[in-house]
């Protein structure tokens, strides 16, 4: 017996390996809800437009709701030889209500159906990722508020550069995640367009009400070209790109957490709940969360590359290649959600070792620029001041001193313009508090950026 819903023009069944090879049910079954809700809406519209009798439409809708609840209660087993989620659901519908169930697919193709399902599915995932990014952002803000006065060295080339605060450093990450949230919302706009009615590629002769379907399913608008409607996966690629950038940000943050928690830095300690030990070295406490997040960035980039490569040079319109979009984007989405969740928990529980941060800021001549600026204020050109302080730093290195340790006599050897107010002027506290331009590390500037951050998050929730 031929069992395929499309079996009419075939004279024998597909080989078992063929079923296994082209079937996508093992990974697209996760879209069951979107598929069924899409079908319910399609059936409703068919009834309303008089394309099928309204009692048939109602029976189809009711049965689809029952199938949905049966799936959610674990009562349905999907079949590989029914290929994908779309045909599995349709097959069950037909098993339950016979010929009436066979009317559901009127004016529709799996090509526009799958385009609809994936858009609906990714919209929901974008909402979830957005919430996770907001949670992470809030955690960053909370930690920043506790560390407005925590002085640490800021780095360039991984060398101590100028003093900042831990709050200021953390809020840099807030800016990155804020852009991620905005990027995902932008991608959401292009995902929120309804493709049903594109048919296989050339639309359909039935008088479907596409706008009604779009509105019922919460889409902003409908696709404008039937070929593009079934063959566009830009929104999938775009989301993978957004997620790759999220992972890039997380990997930079992770890298810093790993460095900061090392003995050499000693700026933070991770909570035991988010650390692991070594099977041989009893002293070890390893930052596995941060390392795995850093590592998983590669995996998400890989998914982006897969998607770009699958779509490269594909002729219009639908090609089965496009079924390969799912595992890649699902894995990207799953990975990012998992990473955001655990990273946020790890961040929320770190112990900040302020004394070590301060000690690090006191070494490394992080106030050298400020001393040059001190001389500029006393009337020297900046380049001249730079040269003088360079010599002063060299002297300190040779004599194993910090600039603040120099006596007045020593200072005078470098410049007569230096006076006793130097000590106050170049204290780390002052170096930070004087950088009060918008966007700077001074407490008042950071508080302002925290305020803006909160306003942004409020506007998003």
How far apart are CB 332 and ligand ARG at their closest, in Å? 16
The count of C-alpha atoms lying within 13 angstroms of the C-alpha of 385, restricted to the half-sphere facing its C-beta, is 17
Q: Between residues 27 and 206, which has the closer beta carbon with respect to ligand ARG? A: 27
- Contact between 320 and ligand ARG by CB under 6 A: the answer reads yes
Rounded Cα gap, residues 202 and 225, in angstroms: 9
- The residues near 193 (Cβ < 8 Å, ≥ 6 apart) are 119, 219, 220, 221, 222, 223
- The residues near 125 (Cβ < 8 Å, ≥ 6 apart) are 333, 337
How far apart are CB 312 and ligand ARG at their closest, in Å? 17
Select the span of 88-96, 110-118, 183-191, 412-420 touching ligand ARG (CB under 6 A).
Answer: 110-118
Residue 313 buriedness (CB in 10 A; 0-12 / 13-18 / 19+): exposed
Rounded Cα gap, residues 440 and 431, in angstroms: 11
Peptide bond into 317 cis (omega under 30): yes
- Contact between 119 and ligand ARG by CB under 6 A: the answer reads no
Catalytic annotation, residues: 157, 278
- Contact between 249 and ligand ARG by CB under 6 A: the answer reads no
Q: Between residues 147 and 323, which has the closer beta carbon with respect to ligand ARG? A: 323
Select the span of 106-114, 122-130, 278-286, 434-442 touching ligand ARG (CB under 6 A).
Answer: 106-114
Q: How many positions of this chain bind ligand ARG (CB under 6 A)?
A: 10
How far apart are CB 196 and ligand ARG at their closest, in Å? 13
Residue of the chain from 39, 63, 111, 335 that contacts ligand ARG (CB under 6 A): 111
How far apart are CB 193 and ligand ARG at their closest, in Å? 18
Q: What backbone torsions phi and psi does residue 305 show, to the nearest 5 degrees? A: -65, -40
- Contact between 191 and ligand ARG by CB under 6 A: the answer reads no
Q: What backbone torsions phi and psi does residue 454 show, to the nearest 5 degrees? A: -65, -40
- Helices 166-191 and 110-146: crossing angle in degrees, nearest 10, is 160
Rounded Cα gap, residues 78 and 23, in angstroms: 11
Rounded Cα gap, residues 139 and 136, in angstroms: 5
- The residues near 140 (Cβ < 8 Å, ≥ 6 apart) are 170, 171, 173, 174, 177, 347
Give the x-and-dash track for 16-55 against ligand ARG (CB under 6 A): --------x---x---------------------------
- Contact between 114 and ligand ARG by CB under 6 A: the answer reads yes
Residue of the chain from 164, 240, 290, 322 that contacts ligand ARG (CB under 6 A): 322
- Contact between 112 and ligand ARG by CB under 6 A: the answer reads no
Q: What backbone torsions phi and psi does residue 320 show, to the nearest 5 degrees? A: -65, -20
Residue of the chain from 31, 52, 71, 84 that contacts ligand ARG (CB under 6 A): 84
Select the span of 128-136, 259-267, 314-322, 382-390 touching ligand ARG (CB under 6 A).
Answer: 314-322
How far apart are CB 187 and ligand ARG at their closest, in Å? 20
How far apart are CB 76 and ligand ARG at their closest, in Å? 18
Positions that interact with ligand ARG (CB under 6 A)? 24, 28, 84, 110-111, 114, 318, 320, 322-323
């Amino acid at each position: 017996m031929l069992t395929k819903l499309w079996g009419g023009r075939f004279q024998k069944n597909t080989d078992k390996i063929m079923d296994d090879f082209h079937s996508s049910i093992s990974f697209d079954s996760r879209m069951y809800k979107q598929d069924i809700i899409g079908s319910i809406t399609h059936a409703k519209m068919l009834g309303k437009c008089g394309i099928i009798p309204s009692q048939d439409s109602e029976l189809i809708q009711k049965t689809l709701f029952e199938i949905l609840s049966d799936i959610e209660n674990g009562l349905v087993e999907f079949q590989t030889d029914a290929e994908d989620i779309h045909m599995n659901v349709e097959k069950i519908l037909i098993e339950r209500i016979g010929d009436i169930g066979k009317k559901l697919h009127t004016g529709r193709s799996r090509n526009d159906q799958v385009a609809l399902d994936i858009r609906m599915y990714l919209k929901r995932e974008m909402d979830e990722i957005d919430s996770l990014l907001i949670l992470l952002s809030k955690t960053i803000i909370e930690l920043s508020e506790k560390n407005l006065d925590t002085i640490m060295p800021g780095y360039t080339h991984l060398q101590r550069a100028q003093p900042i605060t831990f709050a200021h450093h953390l809020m840099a990450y807030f800016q990155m995640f804020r852009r991620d949230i905005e990027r995902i919302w932008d991608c959401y706009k292009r995902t929120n367009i309804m493709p049903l009615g594109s048919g296989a590629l050339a639309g359909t002769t039935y008088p479907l009400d596409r706008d009604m379907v779009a509105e019922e399913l919460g889409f902003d608008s409908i696709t404008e070209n039937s070929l593009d409607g079934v063959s566009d996966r830009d929104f999938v690629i775009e989301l993978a790109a957004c997620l790759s950038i999220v992972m890039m940000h997380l990997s930079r943050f992770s890298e810093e957490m790993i460095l900061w928690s090392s003995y050499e830095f000693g700026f933070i300690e991770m909570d035991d709940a988010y650390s692991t030990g070594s099977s041989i070295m009893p002293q070890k406490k390893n930052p596995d969360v941060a390392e795995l997040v850093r590592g998983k960035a590669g995996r998400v980039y890989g998914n982006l590359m897969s998607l770009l490569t699958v779509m490269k040079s594909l002729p219009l319109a639908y090609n089965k290649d496009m079924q390969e979009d799912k595992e890649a984007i699902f894995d990207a989405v799953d990975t990012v959600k998992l990473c955001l969740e655990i990273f946020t928990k790890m961040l929320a529980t770190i112990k900040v070792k302020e004394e070590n941060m301060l000690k690090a800021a006191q070494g490394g001549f992080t106030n050298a620029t400020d001393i040059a600026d001190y001389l500029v204020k006393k009337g020297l050109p900046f380049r001249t001041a730079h040269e003088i302080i360079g010599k002063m730093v060299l002297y300190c290195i040779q004599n194993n001193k910090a600039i603040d340790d120099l006596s007045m006599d020593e200072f005078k050897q470098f410049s007569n313009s230096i006076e006793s107010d130097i000590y106050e002027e170049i204290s780390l506290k002052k170096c930070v508090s004087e950088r009060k331009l918008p966007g700077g590390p001074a407490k008042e500037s950071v508080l302002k950026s925290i305020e803006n951050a909160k306003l942004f998050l409020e506007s998003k929730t």
